[in-house]
Structure 1
Amino acid sequence: MTMPANHQSMLSRRGFCLCCAAAAGFAATGGWFSPATAYAKARSIVDLIRDEAAKTKIKVHKLRGNVSILEGSGGNIAVLTGGDGKVFVDAGITASRLRILEAANSLSRDPITHLINTHWHFDHADGNAWLNAEGAEITAHENTHKHLMSTQRVEDWDFNFTPSALAAVPTDIFDTDKTLKLNGSTLQLRYYGPAHTDSDISVNFSEADILHVGDTYWNGIYPFIDYSTGGSIGGMIKATEANLAAATKRTIVIPGHGTPVSNREELSSYRDMLVAIRDNVAKLKSQGRSIEEAISARPTAAFDAKWGQFVITPEFFVRLVYQGV
C-alpha cells in the first residue's frame, strides 16, 4: 500500500527522535526503530523506547580520572566515582534502572550521591526519581527545573510530557554557571543559552580534561533540535563553538548521542557540517524556496554519507534547519 504524502511527512517529522533516544549504541548495532516500524505499533514512541531500554545492555567505557561512560539508556551517562559517592551526569531511562545499577556498581560500591542533568529531555532525565531515591541530589539549570515542573509538549515527537514527580525535580539549580568539588575533581557546569533546548549545560571534569556536552553534540548523526522548548540551529552552532573553545587536543568529549567517546577533531567536523548545512538552507530560503523545494535541492548531500545514515534523515534535518534560518 502506498503511504499518503502527508502521512510520510508526519513520520519524518515525528517518528525520528525518540527512536534515537533509546540508546546511543543502537546506531552501531542496527537496533534503532525506523519511523515506519515505530508507527506500525499501537503504542506511543515513548513507550516503545522504555520497552527497548528495559532490555538493552549497558556498555561501560572507562576513561580517566575515575570517569566512565554508561552507554545504552537514552543519552550517554557519565559517572565519576570516589569517596564522596558516585556522581552521575544524566539519568537515562527508568526502565534501565537495574542494568544501570549493575554497571555503576561494577565501577565502585560507593553510594550514588549526586546527579547532574544536562537538559530536561526524557532520555536524559527520566531516571531522576529513582536516582534521587538512591540518595542523589539533583543539579540542573533553572530551565530544566521549569520544564520538569510543568507539562511540556514536544511537537516533533507529537507527545505531551506531564509534570514530573517532585523527587525527579532538581533542587540544586543555577542560572549561568556552577562549580562542584567532588571526589577530588572540579566539575564546572556552564549554561549555553538556547541551543538544543533552552536548558542545556556542559559539565567539564577539569583535572581529567573530560567534557560532557549533552545534546549539543551528536557524534556521527544529524542532531535533533527542539524548537518547542527554545532550541535553534543558530544556538546549536554557538554551543558547538563554545565546546571547541573549551576543548584541547587532549580533551575527551562526551556527546549526548552517537559514539560515546569523542575528541576535538570530530567535534570540529560536526561544527563544520552544521555551519555548511545552515548556510545552504538559508540561501535556498532567501531565494524564496519552499521547504519542499529546499529538501529537493539536497542541501545536505555532501554530508549524508557520514551523518545521515540513521533515523534523523537528511530530509528531516533540512526541515529542522529551515525552521531556524
Structure 2
Amino acid sequence: MRSLLAVLVTVPALALAQPAGVEKVPVTSTPVAGNVHLLVGAGGNIAVSVGPDGLLIVDDQFEPLAPKIHKALDKLSQAKIAYVLNTHWHGDHTGGNAVFGREGRIVAQREVRTRLAAGQDQGSRGVIAPAKKEALPVITYDTGMSLYFNGEEVRLTHLPAGHTDGDTLVYFTGSNVMHTGDQFVLDSFPFVDVASGGSLEGYVRNVEQVLQTLPPNVKIIPGHGALTDRAGMERFVAMLRETVSLVRAKRDAGKTLEQVKAEGLPEKYKVYGEGFIKQDFWLETVYRGLEKGAAKATDGK
C-alpha cells in the first residue's frame, strides 16, 4: 500500500511547478472593497492594497507573468511595491518573488522561507531548485504579525499545518477583505500537501475555525477561484465535512480505497472534481489522511 507522500508526488504540478505557456495568460484586475483589488492570471489569486503608502501584494503567481502583473498594477497606481506577502511556499503563489522581491520586502511565515531556501526533491517529477536570494522572505514570523499600511491594519495569522505547514491568512481590517491562500479554494477539492507538512485533519480544522471567526460581510479572496463571501466558504466546509464523513464510514466498514473510488461521491460534488484536484485524488487524500490519523491515535494509546 503506497504512502500518502508517494501518492502526492503524482499530482500535476499545480502547486510546485510552472505550466507551459503561462506567459500567454491575461492578467485582469477587479476592485474588491476599500483599498483592495484582485488580480487574476495563472496560479493563485493576487490581492493588492492600493493607497498613499504605495502597493502591497499578496502572492505573485509565476515569474513569466511578472510583466503583465506590473501592467495591471500600473493601471491601479504608479506607486512602488512596498511589500510582498506570501500565503505559503508553492510556486503558483511565489513564482514571481524573484522579480517583485527586488522591489518590495517579502514577508512570510518562517516555514515558507525554509522551504523556498531548501527546494524540494519530487522524485520522478524532478527537483525544485532552491529559490534565489531575492526570492526569499526577508521578514518572517512564527504565529503572526501586523503591518499598518494604506490606513489600515493588515493582519497576518499563521494557521497550523493544513494545506502546508506555512499557511497564512491575510486580513485587511479596514477594507474587510480576507485572502485565505490555499487553505480555502472555491467550489473545488483542495490539495493537502503532506510533503510540505500539510495534514487532512489540520486542513479541515483550520477552515472550520476560519469560518467560525469570519467578520460580518467580509469579502473573501480564495487561493483559487472567484471572489466570494461567507456562503462560498460555508459550501466548502460542508463539502469537506460530508466527504470526509462518507469516506470514514466506508473505511470503518472495511472497504478498500479501490472500492471507495469505484463508488465515488454524491452527484452534487461532481463539479468539485472539475478543478485541478480530481475526485479520485481527493478520495485517496481523505482515505490516506484518515489512515494516518488512525495510526496516530493507535500509537498514542
TM-score by length of 2: 0.89
SS of 1:81's partner is: strand
Matched, 1:99 2:68: yes
**Which residue number corresponds to residue 247 of structure 1?**
214
Matched, 1:320 2:289: no
4+ long deviations beyond 3 Å? 10-13
Letter in 2 for 1:137: R
Letter in 2 for 1:324: G
**Which residue number corresponds to residue 105 of structure 2?**
137
Aligned counterparts of 2:152 and 2:256: Cα–Cα separation in 1: 51
**Residues 154 and 280 of structure 1: is their aligned pair in 2 closer, same or farther, counting only changes over 3 Å?**
farther
**Which residue number corresponds to residue 84 of structure 1?**
53
**Which residue number corresponds to residue 36 of structure 1?**
none
Aligned counterparts of 1:52 and 1:269: Cα–Cα separation in 2: 33
Q: Percent identity of the aligned residues?
A: 29
Structure 1 residue 13: Cα displacement: 6.9
Q: Find 1:162's aligned residue among 105, 123, 129.
A: 129
5+ residue gaps, structure 1: 1-9, 22-44
CA-based RMSD of the aligned residues comes to 2.0
5+ residue gaps, structure 2: 1-5, 291-301
**Which residue number corresponds to residue 299 of structure 2?**
none
Number of aligned residue pairs: give it.
285
**Residues 12 and 116 of structure 1: is their aligned pair in 2 closer, same or farther, counting only changes over 3 Å?**
closer
SS of 1:129's partner is: helix
TM-score by length of 1: 0.83
Letter in 2 for 1:124: H
SS of 2:161's partner is: coil
Matched, 1:195 2:185: no
SS of 1:324's partner is: helix
Matched, 1:305 2:301: no
Aligned counterparts of 1:145 and 1:168: Cα–Cα separation in 2: 9
User: Contact (CA 8 Å) 2:8, 2:194: kept in 1 or not?
Assistant: no
**Residues 262 and 174 of structure 1: is their aligned pair in 2 closer, same or farther, counting only changes over 3 Å?**
same
Aligned counterparts of 2:122 and 2:41: Cα–Cα separation in 1: 23
**Which residue number corresponds to residue 117 of structure 2?**
149
TM alignment of 1:1-325, pairs within 5 A: 14-18=10-14, 46-47=17-18, 49=19, 51-133=20-102, 135-154=103-122, 158-259=125-226, 261-298=227-264, 300-325=265-290
User: Contact (CA 8 Å) 2:58, 2:85: kept in 1 or not?
Assistant: yes
